[in-house]
Amino acid sequence: MKLIRNFILFISLLPCADVYAQQEPGVLSVDLKNATIKQLVSDIESKADFHFFYDARQLDSVRITVKIVSEPLAFILKKAFENTPVKFTIDPDRNVFLTRDKEIYASLPYGLFESEKDSSRIVNQKEPSTLATVYNQNEQGSVTSTQENKLVEIGIKTSEIQGGNVALAGYVRDAANGAPVIRAAVFTDAPRIGTYTDQFGYYSLILPRGAHTLNIKALGISDTKRRIMLYSEGKLDIEIKTQVLSLREVVVSAENSANVRNVQMGVEKLSIATIKQVPVVFGEADVVRVMLTLPGVKTVGEAANGFNVRGGAVDQNLILFDDLTIYNPSHFFGFFSAFNPDVVKDVELYKSSIPARYGGRLSSVLDVSSKDGNSRKLAGTAGIGLLTSRLNVEGPLIKDKTSFIVGGRTTYSNWLLRLLPEDSNYKDSKASFYDANVRLSHKINDKNNLYLTGYLSSDDSNLNSDTSYAYSNKNVSMKWKHVFSNKFTGVLVGGFSSYDYNTRSNINPVNAYKLGFDIKQVNVKTDFTYYLSPKHTLDFGVSTIQYKLNPGSFTPYAKESLIVRDIIAPEQAYESAVYFGDRFDLTSNLSLDLGLRYSMFNYMGPQSINNYAPGLPRSEPNLLGSTDFKKGDIVKTYHGPEMRFSARYQITEDLSVKSGYNTLRQYIHVLSNTAAMAPTDIWKLSDPNIKPQFGDQVSLGLYKNFKSNTIETSVEGYYKRLKDYLDYRNGAVLVMNHDIERDVINTQGKAYGVELLVKKLTGKLNGWLGYTYSRTLLRMDDPTAAQLINNGEYYPSNFDKPHDLTLVGNYRFSHRFSMSLNTTYSTGRPITVPVGKYFYAGSLRARYSGRNQLRIPDYFRTDVSMNIEGNHKIHQLTHSSWTVGIYNLTGRDNPYSTYFTSEKGVIKGYRLSVFGNAIPYVNYNIRF
């Protein structure tokens, strides 16, 4: 701790307040025998107003014996340190710097400060510009820099700085636990050259030789900088300190000013610290729910599974957890997301410019990264909430080389269900879920890292002892990162993802059944990054996914059951892609991000494909026959290019304009005709009768920061087209349908909108305010559809909610106490309502008209929460915190859906709300 304190002193150079009266100015007396540096320093500091700065670790072996009366300090120190490696420097402000072996110069050389900087002078400088050469060189030759004001020399030292550019690369890590810092911006101010660390914390820059100040900015860390003297190509690992506990700022975007400078548009990044501050139902920190507070991200309602990005359907989001595809990111039918907040590091959502390395979904990419285990010491967290408990342990297996993190979360709602009154229908119900995560990180050497991630989530609910629903995600991936050179890195990922569900019922043994579905994918991909020059960064790679899908099995679930075993033939396919991208700085103001992806989809045998008469509705009368394909046959191939283009023009330092154009293809679809996505919706691969979906989007945005980048504002507009989106015939049957193509209709869609966002990143009061105006309209234009929904006119999609306003705010009263507020307003979503009534089969019934012609009442909700930290004493066994909050403070019963039904011959309309009351919650968390 002494070290840290000294560092802090060193960094801040705080003048000391207390000045001692001196016996005689300038001279003093010392008499020490075999003393430590500490004893020497305290002796001198007690006698004169000198202030010593040193690294206790470096000097703790030194012993000093000195006896001097009334001499100047310089003389005393010179005597004292004779025959020791200790060097000293005294500056005019009476600060004394003690170093080992190498001396500190108390005046600074040219070139360190911009005002003095003049490249010709640097080149002509005869004196070595070394100021300090305090660094730790490890055995691999890379330099680890932990201190801001140290000058770090990199490369083979030359007496003259040569011209030309060289590559500098390394890792940015958290000093506390060795975890990589992802998407940290690493940049120099002049010239403006910058990059971001990748998912491993790795960065690479091409810089002119000479002195630079490297700025490092990232989510959840204090901004910091490093002074470097770059002689030739070299490595610099940077260790930075995260902000501690609630001292940590709410940082919404990856970097201050990144929104202005970054070429990409529509990228939102949230750290888990921010996510945990936003109040959520039952206090269960929820990655997906918090995403919904961002402009352009919507949901059908509280019980909805998933989210809608810029008018896209729920299945158009690619949800990745450490490069693994998660097919159902929710627990409890969509009430909670399936990501354990304690193992999540951060979450990134791409809603507009989707980098070329991603593909396969039309609307967005939600990239959830898990934490690396603490590589320095064993640590953990635990939390207790109303519905769930969490435990998470992390630590090193081999210190600074191999670390692990293991997390688990489970519910005890079964216990709550049992508390229900005897006459309640839910007495015999069972509802359980759990998820488990494991991640191993292993550093083979400086050039090779291995990562292993495993993820499992499972739900099993039996309601009213009738029908049981169970579903599960299982994922595992292995990732190998290799550094070819400072300029060239590569990642190889192999993974396996699976999702399955089943529903079971045995209330009537004759009809007892089990219905099952599963999808498995194996994927392999490589991503390479080549830092060609300061102006070009190239990304390229290939990927392939093998899908294996069991679309449905319907089997007897009791001996007496008469259910006929019915199994829909499995589907299999390959989805492959190759991509290339270039981040290109045309001028210092104009940057381009050009990407091209070519994707190909092969639907494979064995399979039997129905052939329909061309141009006629795909229905039984038009069935011509079917074609059988054998195992290994390619049944159908779809392929095509995808463009990813974005550009940024920086008008001033804090004002920029960006635009982008994206095209995407999607070969796998969710089949669902419920209002919300249900956990039992099934996925379907494109086949000869079901075309892939195609989408493109143009977007334009203006970004302006105020008050030295502490307030960010942006306006983004977009227009999006969807082609061959799947909608359903009225009354379509999607489960266990052997001829599903007869019930789906190709639909066109268009979506457009404007998103406004104001973010305040720092200070006691922080948060964001977002407003979105957006429309999503669909139109059936399939000539082969027998009956077009709404006669082929445009109709609003289920999640068309034109106005949406969200305020997320946090106020920090003290380091231990903060309050958060979340307020949301949106237009009610469209519903189909009756236009009349009629009497049939003994009841009055509602007559429905076209789809989605009316809206449910508008949605409004306010949540508040308080975060209370335990004391911040660093030496205690555990640190605890409380989160207390109220979800839906005003108790407004926001309708989730409406329905009309005939009851005893009378038509009644009802609206359902999920949370019709204010819901208080409390969570207790400990860290150890």
Partner 1 sequence: MTNCHSLFRIGRSLEQGKTMRKLFTIGIFALLTVVGCKKPFNPEAINGFSSALIVEGVINPSGVTNIYLSRTLDLDDKVVIKPEPKAVVQVLSENNTAVTLAEKTGGLYSIPALSLNSTQKYRLRIRTSAGVEYMSDALAVKNTPPIDKFYWERSPEGVGIYVDAQDSQNNTKYYQWDFEEDWEIRSIDSAKYSGVPGPMGGIAVVARDSKESALMFTCYKSQRSTNIDIFSTAKLSADVVSRHRVAFIPNISDKLSVRYSILVRQYALNFEAFEYLSMMKRNTEQLGSFFDAQPSELVGNIRNVSDKNDVAIGYIVIAPVLEKRLFITISDVPGWGFRLNCNTFPVKNDRDSLAVHFGPGAAYTPQYPVQNSAGGITHWTATPASCLDCRLRSGTNVKPAFW
772 versus 832: smaller Cβ distance to partner 1: 832
Give the nearer residue to partner 1 in terms of CB position, either 393 or 778: 778
Shortest distance, position 283 Cβ to partner 1, whole Å: 14
DSSP states along 92-106: TTSEEEEEESSPPPS
Q: Of 128, 137, 114, 185, nearest to 159 (Cα)?
A: 128
Q: Minimum distance between the CB of residue 396 and partner 1, rounded to whole angstroms?
A: 40
Distance CA 540, CA 532 (A): 13
- Does a cis peptide bond (omega within 30 degrees of 0) precede residue 191? yes
Beta carbon of residue 909, minimum distance to partner 1 (angstroms, whole number):
4
Q: In the bound complex, what is the minimum distance in angstroms from residue 138's beta carbon to partner 1?
A: 54
Q: Can you tell me which residue has the tokens 């410019």? A: 353
In the complex with partner 1, which residue's Cβ is closer, 398 or 835? 835
Q: In whole angstroms, what is the distance from residue 448 CA to residue 202 CA?
A: 12
Structure tokens, 31: 């008499």
404, 373 Cβ separation under 8 angstroms: yes
- For residue 917, the minimal CB distance to partner 1 (Å) is 6
| Token digits of residue 557 | 């679930």
**Which of 487/845 has CB closer to partner 1?**
845
Coil/strand/helix, residue 93? coil
CB-side neighbour CA atoms (13 Å) of 242:
23
**Minimum gap (Å) between residue 850 Cβ and partner 1:** 7
> Smallest gap, in angstroms, from Cβ of residue 561 to partner 1?
9
Q: Which residue's CB is nearer to partner 1, number 223 or number 620?
A: 620
Q: Is the peptide bond prior to 208 cis by the omega test (within 30 degrees of 0)?
A: no
> Which residue in 799, 804, 856 sits closest to 826, CA to CA?
804
Give the nearer residue to partner 1 in terms of CB position, either 706 or 910: 910
Smallest gap from residue 429 Cβ to partner 1 (A) = 6
Provide, rounded to whole angstroms, the least separation between the CB of residue 844 and partner 1: 6
Provide the token pair at 453: 């991630």
Q: Which one, 207 or 744, has the nearer CB to partner 1?
A: 744
Distance CA 483, CA 490 (A): 6
Say if CB 431 and CB 332 are below 8 A apart: yes
Q: How far apart (Å, rounded) are the C-alpha atoms in residues 443 and 398?
A: 10
| Residue 77 near residue 43 (C-beta atoms within 8 A) | no
Q: Measured from the CB of residue 898, what is the shortest distance to partner 1 in angstroms?
A: 5
Q: 719 burial class (0-12, 13-18, 19+ CB within 10 angstroms)?
A: middle
Q: Report helix angle 73-80 to 37-47, nearest 10.
A: 170
Of residues 530 and 799, the one with the C-beta less far from partner 1:
799
Nearer to partner 1, 391 or 736 (CB): 736
Q: Which of 809, 796, 703 is nearest to 760 (CA)?
A: 809
For 144-166, letters b (16+ CB in 10 Å) and e give bbbbbebbbbbbeeeeebeeeeb
Nearer to partner 1, 841 or 877 (CB): 841
Residue type, 269: K
Nearest to partner 1 of 513, 547 (CB atom): 513
CB of residue 306 vs partner 1: minimum separation in angstroms?
A: 13
Nearer to partner 1, 138 or 508 (CB): 508
* Whole-number Å distance between alpha carbons of 878 and 883: 17
User: What does 315-329 look like in DSSP terms, one character per residue?
Assistant: GGEEEEETTEE-S--
Minimum CB distance to partner 1, residue 891 (Å): 10
For partner 1, give the closer residue by CB, 691 or 911.
911
Q: What are phi and psi of 57, to 5 degrees?
A: -65, -40
Distance CA 235, CA 221 (A): 22
Rounded CA-CA distance 459/511 in Å is 24
Tell the smallest beta-carbon distance from residue 899 to partner 1 (Å): 3
Closest of 291, 434, 309, 299 to residue 361, by C-alpha: 309
3-state secondary structure of 377: coil
Q: Which amino acid is at 487?
A: K
- Minimum CB distance to partner 1, residue 729 (Å): 8
What string of H, E and C letters represents the secondary structure of 872-908? CCCCCCCEEEEEEEEECCCCCCCEEEEEEEEECCEEE
Find the shortest distance in angstroms from Cβ 682 to partner 1.
Answer: 11
CB neighbourhood size of 652 (10 A): 10
Q: From the CB of 727, what's the least distance to partner 1, in Å?
A: 11
Minimal distance in Å, beta carbon 750 to partner 1? 21
Q: How is the beta sheet containing 136-137 ordered, strand by strand?
A: 136-137, 143-145, 234-240, 165-174, 202-208
Residue with smaller CB distance to partner 1, 510 or 624: 510
Rounded distance, CA 696 to CA 648, Å?
19
- Residue pair 465/417 in contact by the 8 Å Cβ criterion: no
Q: Which is nearer to partner 1, 715 or 788 (CB)?
A: 788
Instruction: Write out the H or E segment, with its range, that includes residue 46.
Output: helix 37-47
Q: Which is nearer to partner 1, 461 or 697 (CB)?
A: 461
Q: Which residue has the tokens 């190759």?
A: 578
Closer of 449 and 746 to partner 1 (Cβ):
746
Assigned token pair, 219: 């989510």
Q: Least CB distance from residue 327 to partner 1, whole Å? A: 17
Nearer to partner 1, 663 or 672 (CB): 672
Which tokens go with 488?
Answer: 């060239």
Place of tokens 């070595």: 128
**What CA–CA distance (Å, rounded) separates 443 from 912?**
53
